[in-house]
Amino acid sequence: MWGFKLEFKQSLRSKKFIATIVIMMLLYVPFFYIIRQDSDIGTMTTGEFITGIIQFLGGMATFFIAILALLMGATAINSEIEKGTLRVAMSKPVSRLGYITGKMLAQITTLLIALLISALVGIVGFMAIGAPVNGTVVREVILLNLLLLVGLSQLLLLGYLISTVVKSSTSALGLALVLFFVISLIMPSVVGYMAMTSADHQNKGFEEVYKDYATKYLFFEPTTQLKIIMNEVEDHEHQECYKIVRRVDLTTYKDETINKTKVEKCEYSSYEESHIEGNYRYYTTCTCEPRYGGLIYAINKSMTNFLIVVGMAVLYTGLALIRFLRMDLR
């Protein structure tokens, strides 16, 4: 518990944590402004809104908080050795295993707090612009944070492994940044190109091929695995149909949805009627969309990807623990 309390306080006060939160908050402002100006968020269904918020919050977390996780882990041990604080800690009645376990748990808790701050600000922001926030949204956001925490913990623990191998904290930070750039940005692009080429040759959909390729070749990259899971929240086997009324201002050509009503089915697979009233042209359409399945549905559908994330986190934990327990801390 001593190691947990000490590390938890230090993590919350660290410049990396504060900078990450501040940058994310600054990016929220233009995002919500654009959404408020350009979208008909008031007419969104709960399923559409939850899908959107999962993609938004998940995207923010799998970039900014992912970098934070890797950098926190990469300097967790070597910086303590450089400052001499690790020897002081080991002089207290605490075992090596107890110390590093407490340290890991403290930093995982810090990541959870970062996720909760991001989610809370996101929900409040969406409420402020008239989004349909309800109990289902809150439940799904909680599940999203738990899912993200598992994936981000994998990066944190990979950072711990780096920290036990690279003695210089500065070198470890540089290595962690390069590693993140390569495994999270370059390699997914390469695999995406491979999937696109293969999809053309096999006459299959890109998303289907990419999921297969990413599962095989990016098993070590948690943010890709998380995105695969988050992309499966829609249940394409079941559909919901809606009658939509849009209004176009014939002067400014502003197009907005003014009504969206759920119907049992569309009489035709797709149709559109229009009429003019004053300066407006009204369009009435009926369309069927995939039903929102939820994160539990998505995890069940992508269980292999979820187990890969959990398995890699366990693997990195074991390797980091073994390495730390055998380290010369002088």
pLDDT by 10s per residue, the chain, length 330: 666 877 888 888 888 899 998 988 888 888 777 777 666 666 666 777 788 888 888 888 889 999 999 999 999 998 888 888 888 877 777 788 888 998 999 999 999 999 999 888 888 888 887 777 788 888 898 999 999 999 999 999 999 999 999 989 999 999 999 999 999 999 999 999 999 888 877 777 888 899 999 999 999 999 999 999 998 888 777 777 888 888 898 888 888 888 888 888 887 655 577 888 888 999 888 888 788 888 999 999 999 999 999 999 999 999 999 999 888 776
Sign of the Cα pseudo-torsion (328, 179, 11, 226, in order): negative
Map out the domains of the chain as residue ranges. 2-233+293-325, 237-292
Q: Convert the pLDDT of each residue in 299-320 to its tens digit.
A: 999 999 999 999 999 999 999 9
Q: Give how far the C-alpha of residue 87 lies from the chain's centroid of Cα atoms, to the nearest Å.
A: 37
Cβ neighbour number for residue 120 with a 10 Å cutoff: 11
Per-residue confidence (pLDDT) for residue 40, from 0 to 100:
64
Q: How does DSSP assign 20-49, residue by residue?
A: HHHHHHHHHHHHHHHHHHH--GGG--HHHH
Distances, alpha carbon 94 to alpha carbons 90, 107, 128, 141, 326, in Å: 7, 18, 48, 37, 16
Residues linked to residue 235 through DSSP beta bridges, in sequence order: 291
